[in-house]
Chain A
Amino acid sequence: MIRLVGRKFAETGLFLLFLTFASFAFVRLAPGDPVLTILNVDEVSVSQEQVESLREEMGFDKPLLVQYGQWLLRFIQLDAGTSYVTGQPVMSMIKAGLPATMELTAGALFVMLFIALPLGSLSALYQGSWIDSLSRFLSVIGAAVPSFWLGLIFIDAFAVRLQWFPTMGREGVSTLILPALTLGVAISSVYVRLLRSNLSDALSQEFIRSGRARGIGESRLFFAHALRYSLPPVITVFGVSLGSLIGGVVVIEVLFAYPGIGKMVVDAIRQRDYPLIQGYIMVMALCVFVVNTAVDLSYRLLRPEWRRAGGGV
């Protein structure tokens, strides 16, 4: 276990180095820099010389590698810099926005579990029945409908017409329900189908039949054996799709004015606020690392036989 975590750390270190450099290069090679935003050229009279001199002062005229090296050196000393636009430390901005994004992600996962687990299980157990057709229908709809549109429909139905929930903001559970529902429904479609196919595969396995022959109860067979057998691939897909989940969070955060880091980074990209973009990428990479490690570790709990066979996944 310790070796696995250690190896993960080493892999992640290399990966982060690559990722931060690639993102650094991409963002800086894209047209535009924050100088025009910082100088507020839209409202304050500025001369071309002032633009050039600030560009030099901020080091944007230096070679890419030098700029990256300077950033990395500071980052290793745990200094992610300050935002060009707000002048606040990047880490404190991320720390302020992260809880809201986590909340929304957790809420969406909760909704997803409540939809995908029963619907996936039932359609695997009763294949070809109406509930199977229903789940297929819902997952097609879920995959086809963009989440922001779904969100607008939910706002219109539950906030404007029924007045059950507020339309936006972040003030406790009442404001979390609609965005979590939107995001949860949007992502559950994938998992309903995945769980169904994995479960039906599990249910046809030898060990289920022999278990049944030994007189093990149906519910125990389902929950303790079949479900456990079919979860690892689902979890793997989840680890992989975490990125798209975070992408979905951005849209939902904007729509419901939920003050998370997704919304913050969209602004940062628009304004070319490099330190904030880099800080965000680092934090997200670390989150993905934590989730992936947790996914790997979860295999060992769910499929102990893999651990005995040598541990590699």
Chain B
Amino acid sequence: MRTFQSMILVGLLAGALMLTGCQGSTATKEEETEGKHLSFLYNFATNSLDPHVDSSYVPLRAGITETLMKLDEEKLTVTPWLAESFEGDDGQNWTIHIREGVTFHNGKELDAAAVKDSLERAVKESIAVKNALKIKEMKADGQVLKIQTTEPFPEFISELVNPNTAIIDVSEDDIINRPVGTGPFELSSFSPGSKLEVERYKNYWDGAAKLDAVTFAFNEDASARTLALKSGQVDIVYRPEVESLESLKAEKGMVVDSTSTFRVHQMTMNMQREEMKDVNVRRGIDALIDREEIVDTILLGHAEPAIGPFLPSLPFAPSYEEDGQEDAVAYLKKAGYTIKDGVMQKDGKPLTLTLLTYSARADLPLIAQVFQSDAKKIGIAVKIRQIDVPEDYMGGNRDWDLATYSNLTAPRGDAGYYLNATYHPKGALNFSRAEEPELTSIIDELNRTVDQEKRAELSEAAADYVHDHMINSFILHPSTIVAYDGDRVKNWVTTKSEYYMITNKLDVKEP
């Protein structure tokens, strides 16, 4: 009997431990109910709010921090944010005028010295930021910050849009848990991996926020996110489950909003393979891709067919005539292929392609299957191979012809990143192994050009070159989907960049 009693005792102890262990953050709940409050549910969790290393960009997205430059979501151009203006005609010596009257959440004035300290920390903490900014030296004087880059680097200004370059007060102690920024909201509590609470910062330079407080929570499971919105626990959900959108739309007051992103799903072509060296084969492959069908059946309409790497609304996006599937055979004929006994062949050798795909983006394997079945119709055998880490496999192995891949093409409103990474012979994402002297020289010139209009022209020329030589083929731009309670949420904007979420304009409707 004694044993049984001790078991009960242990059980009770465990229970008590459990109860005391999880009472941490109930106090904040009461504050939420006062005033105007919204709950936002995001699809990536973070354990750290250090804006310089956190790859979920939560501090910027939650309205705590701001960067020197911002993406104008309407014009899709870079505009000053914490900076007031900038000069740098030679592309290497930059003068940035810091906005006056901006204060950190601890009341300290934002001056060039504070910006310098913050950028220095970002470069020190993150090797990615260091690579992105290429800063040689900085000099701060009042509100003027002079920056010299290691080489002429016209993209510098657009790189300052990167959320990892956000400006914080680096003299504060606990940056991982309590970063102090300049945004419309200041942090009031943070539970790593779970959520953060922010409240209005009264002295915000661009007009105090309309909301009193916001809960920014994380849940990585799409169906759980949808259910959280249905239960009323949250007001806005980022990327709800696509399959449940119809049922969400059917609920009273629910709004489902979707916007195309700067991402492109593409068909990467391995230019080193014998068959793929012929541009007509590549054109045939491009013509085979049924973009409309893929958008409608696989992404259920939440995507935009891609005609080039860049979203058509970007100032440097070219436009092309699209080929139909029927053109595929014509292109292949030009390349010397004929259909015999239902098999596409040249000199008696059938056309067989190996197509790589990976499951980290769930729609890519499905796109591969649609392509496979369309190719089969004209006698091309496509072998689909699943790989684990695409960058690794494509970087090290050349035993494939095609690969479905997803790329950000102008995350900061500038084409430089994508063109350099994907088409420059030195680029880390140049999986096609494109070594086209003409294209390389366009990119090199882009890398020397400061003038925005000239940059746009060069970017467009590069995209044209990629299209004319069909180095890669572009399938679609997937959309970001956001669902929210339209009876409550006011002024929500789903941005293309996915950088700006909780703003000073966001509000709740009067009941």
Q: Are B1 and A224 in contact (CB under 8 A)?
A: yes
Residues of B within 8 A of A87 (CB): 48, 50, 53, 125
Interface of A is mostly: helix
Q: Given A31-B389, A102-B21, A173-B19: A88 and B47 within 8 A (CB)?
A: yes
A49: nearest residue on chain B (CB-CB)? B426
Asked if B300 lies at the interface with its beta carbon under 8 angstroms from chain A, I say: no
Asked if B217 lies at the interface with its beta carbon under 8 angstroms from chain A, I say: yes
Interface residues of B in 1-34 (CB under 8 A from A): 1, 3-4, 6, 11, 14-15, 17-19, 21-26, 29
Please give the distance in Å from A162's CB to the nearest CB on chain B: 10
Q: Are B1 and A170 in contact (CB under 8 A)?
A: no
The contact of A159 among B192, B227, B430, by CB within 8 Å, is B227
Q: Are B391 and A36 in contact (CB under 8 A)?
A: yes
Interface residues of A in 90-126 (CB under 8 A from B): 93, 96-97, 99-100, 102-103, 106-107, 109-110, 113
Q: Are B193 and A263 in contact (CB under 8 A)?
A: yes
Q: Given A88-B47, A159-B227, A160-B227: A30 and B388 within 8 A (CB)?
A: yes
Residues of A within 8 A of B223 (CB): 152
A180: nearest residue on chain B (CB-CB)? B18
Please give the distance in Å from A90's CB to the nearest CB on chain B: 12
Q: Given A45-B421, A86-B54, A99-B21: A159 and B11 within 8 A (CB)?
A: no
Q: Are A228 and B4 in contact (CB under 8 A)?
A: yes
Q: Are B3 and A103 in contact (CB under 8 A)?
A: no
Q: Are A172 and B193 in contact (CB under 8 A)?
A: no
Chain B 152-173 near chain A by CB (<8 Å), digits 1 or 0 = 0000000100101000000000
CA distance A70 to B287 in the complex (A): 53
The contact of A254 among B221, B389, B428, by CB within 8 Å, is B221
Q: Given A110-B15, A172-B23: A259 and B191 within 8 A (CB)?
A: yes
Q: Are B162 and A110 in contact (CB under 8 A)?
A: no
Residues of A within 8 A of B1 (CB): 220, 223-224
The contact of B224 among A36, A223, A224, A257, by CB within 8 Å, is A257
CA distance A210 to B426 in the complex (A): 85
Contact size range, B: 35 or more
Asked if A246 lies at the interface with its beta carbon under 8 angstroms from chain B, I say: no
The contact of A257 among B129, B164, B217, by CB within 8 Å, is B217
Q: Given A47-B427, A110-B11, A172-B22: A39 and B231 within 8 A (CB)?
A: no
CA distance A42 to B55 in the complex (A): 11
Interface residues of B in 418-434 (CB under 8 A from A): 420-421, 424, 426-430
Of B15, B48, B393, which is in contact with the most chain A CB atoms at under 10 Å from its CB?
B48
CA distance A148 to B125 in the complex (A): 37
Asked if A38 lies at the interface with its beta carbon under 8 angstroms from chain B, I say: yes
Residues of chain A at the chain B interface (Cβ within 8 Å): 30-33, 36-51, 54, 85-88, 93, 96-97, 99-100, 102-103, 106-107, 109-110, 113, 148, 151-152, 155-156, 159-160, 163, 166-173, 175-176, 220, 223-224, 227-228, 254-260, 263-264, 267, 301-302
